[in-house]
A = this chain, B = another copy of it.
């Protein structure tokens, strides 16, 4: 078995070796910039770990795993334009450092490059992997669309929210794992189990994100605690609070949401109290744990030796127990 560090090293190496220093620089420089900003490379690592469940030789999975990482970074690039985000990984975003047209076109080129990497597969596996990849990629776009739609709606319910994060976040983790399994020669049933492992880990991961924003340790948390609350971001906590709170608390919550002038710490404290009192913190934790347990039970059913699954099990635990 390959260690996580070893696999991460392979991914970084291949990303570093690709020659982006070519003409037209206006197109390729931003791509090198985005891919050079780092990140944990979780998706390509999951792909290769999934391959490694079934075979020691993970060579065939390397370029497709890069395809997944390039695709993921393409989505960040275009999402940052749409969200008007000025900063990504502590650096200016492409549409700020260059301009919007550059961010659109370099993103388009990244999506094509992602397909080039993904297509570097033996004839027998190409069609199946591409099918999963395209389906996944389309669903990620659908997730982003729902996310934008929900910002303009006041009546989003919890199920709609969960479906949105399934599309926007979970399917790419799931698709990475399924593609990795196909490349490793897994049976269809095992590849599907790994897909479902990914969906459930992805959903748990996003709920953890929602919780950390409110309940994270300010010392460890990378972002400002309460950022979602200040932005009125429709998280699992807010949506459930709006749907489940007593009339009085609901009124209070809506007042805080519509207030234009307030002390940040007071708004955060008031809404956190409502979350605690209406039990949505517990609700969110329970939902997260349910997804996590479903994920682990999917992994347990994959028909390979239990000791081969330790690394994926560990990664799942790390994603759940993270402080940032």
Residues of A participating in the B interface, judged by any CB pair closer than 8 Å: 23-24, 26-27, 78, 81-82, 101, 104-105, 107-109, 111-113, 115-116, 119, 123-124, 126-127, 130-131, 134, 137-138, 141-142, 144-146, 148-149
Contact = CB atoms under 8 A, between A and B. Distances in A.
Assembly of this chain: how many copies? 2
A108 B141 contact: yes
A130 B127 CA distance: 11
29 contacts: A26-B145, A26-B148, A26-B149, A27-B141, A27-B142, A78-B105, A78-B108, A81-B101, A81-B104, A82-B101, A82-B104, A104-B104, A108-B108, A108-B111, A108-B141, A109-B138, A109-B141, A109-B142, A111-B111, A112-B134, A115-B115, A115-B134, A116-B138, A119-B127, A119-B131, A123-B123, A123-B126, A123-B127, A130-B130
A274 B23 CA distance: 34
Nearest to A71: B112
Given A27-B142, A27-B145, 10 more contacts: A24-B149, A109-B141, A111-B111, A113-B138, A115-B115, A115-B130, A119-B130, A119-B131, A119-B134, A123-B126
Nearest to A137: B112
Contacts of A124: 123
Given A26-B149, A148-B26, A112 B138 contact: yes
Main secondary structure of the interface of A (DSSP, over half): helix
Nearest to A167: B24
Residue from A78, A105, A126 whose CB has the most chain B CB atoms within 10 Å: A105
A112 B141 contact: yes
A107 B81 CA distance: 14
In order of increasing CB-CB distance, the 9 nearest A-B pairs are A27-B145, A24-B145, A82-B101, A109-B141, A112-B137, A116-B134, A119-B130, A112-B138, A26-B145
A142 B78 CA distance: 18
Contacts of A81: 101, 104
A110 to B, nearest CB: 10
